[in-house]
Amino acid sequence: MNAMLTRAHRLAARIDTATPAHRDRAVDGLRALALLAVPLGHWMLGGFRLDADGLHNASPLSAFGALAPLSWVLQMLGIFFLVGGYASVLSYRRRTSTTAVWLRGRLVRLGRPVLGVAAVWAVLLAVLSALGVPGDTLRTASTLVIQPLWFVGVYTVVTALTPVCVRLARRLGGWAALPLVVSVAVVDFLRYGPFAEAVPSWLSVLNVLPGWLFAYQLGVSWGEGRIGKRGARLLLVGGGALFAVLLLAFHYPPSMVGVPGEARTNSHPPSLLVVALAAAQSGAAILLRDRIGRLLRRPLLWAPVVVINLSAMTILCWHQSAMLAAAVPASLLGDGTAAVAGLTTGPDTVGWILARIAWLPVFAGLLVLIARYARRFDAPWKAGTRAANARRALAGLLAAGFAVFALGLA
């Protein structure tokens, strides 16, 4: 044990020494926290039901509505977009070529891992089907895998708007995000207000971009030095007050994630409640920045932050696969008739919650194992030769096939 601790201290010290002095440890720490919240949220707030047809999605929030506040903590996409906007500003300033070249580099880094996981799952679906895995299980698995990928798609569009966000931040400061709040509020009024029955269902899609761009714009303004402590307090107090009013007076669903069977959802697409939470989270993050930065001066705390940030896309793209790596084989035990507590049993008992907590280290271990091989998709792919171009084309075709299946288009 002492030898392991000594090695851990030495490794942490090397990572700490190798960190550039200008590195903003607080922002990296916030990003790592938001990244960890994604798998933890999906693993704890998502579950399965097993029947003769296979695995089906379920949620403990259907039976335990009192757990909804847990989703307020685990839904940290607002923080992710905030630090994404902040980091983009710093990168944008340091660009050595044209804006188009800068954007292409960032978008390619986002696209490679997504293409990789989709291509791998296209092959896995064929293999699992040949092995006799039920079609419903394959549908459930593909739905879970593609869920986090929508986020990458939205983040890609938001990143492409960075030059516009920078110009708005320089002109309007933190107030550049206000029109986005108004836009979401108007759409929410139309789809939930007195005219709801006359409003087409597709109108809610109009909230996707402004709902997630809001925190990103705040991050850009923060990176431009246009949001200080006073603005952060306004975001924290204003966002918290709006959140409370929407819950108590306008009866928004309390859960930040979708609950099977519920008519309304806050996150898909984002509602004004999500924006209010993002505002409060952003204000708190900006206010705590200095304190977090001082805390992460400790090598043993800083080292895992570095590792998590280096594995960001791997975590986002593959964490659902880690859970499925345990759940799908378990669903086949006893010819699909033996349920495993916390894994393939319905998430409607306290026993399920306790069992699922016990499964978390297993999911984390499987994710680490998968990451050893999946991280190759994060690195630049070879190009230029016929073989390399053929591999890229094949990956694209496989990814497209998986998307068609996962989205229910075939």
pLDDT tens, residue by residue, 265-309: 898 889 999 999 999 999 999 999 999 999 999 999 999 999 999
pLDDT band at 410 (very low <50, low <70, confident <90, very high): low
119, 110 Cβ separation under 8 angstroms: no
Q: For residue 394, is pLDDT > 90?
A: no
**Which tokens in the block code for residue 177?**
């995000």
**Which tokens in the block code for residue 5?**
């601790």
- pTM for this predicted structure: 0.93
Q: Give the bridge partners for 55, in sequence order.
A: 50
- Position 180, amino acid: L
| Confidence at residue 153, expressed as pLDDT on a 0 to 100 scale | 87
Q: For residue 62, is pLDDT > 80?
A: yes
**CA–centroid distance for 98 within its chain:** 29
Q: Which tens digits make up the pLDDT trace of 343-361?
A: 999 999 999 999 999 999 9
48 three-class SS: strand
Residues 309 and 403: their CA atoms lie apart, in Å, by 27
Q: Which letter, b or e, does each residue of 246-258 get, where b requires 16 or more Cβ atoms within 10 Å of its Cβ? A: beeeeebbbbbbb
Give the other-Cβ count within 10 Å of 140's Cβ.
22
Q: Which residue has the higher pLDDT, 383 or 348?
A: 348
| Confidence at residue 341, expressed as pLDDT on a 0 to 100 scale | 92
| Confidence at residue 241, expressed as pLDDT on a 0 to 100 scale | 98
What integer best gives the mean pLDDT of the chain?
A: 91
Q: Which tens digits make up the pLDDT trace of 193-239?
A: 888 888 898 899 999 999 999 999 999 999 999 999 999 999 999 99
Lowest mean pLDDT among 36-45, 260-269, 368-377: 260-269
pLDDT band at 40 (very low <50, low <70, confident <90, very high): very high
Q: For residue 383, is pLDDT > 80?
A: no
Residues 326 and 222: their CA atoms lie apart, in Å, by 41
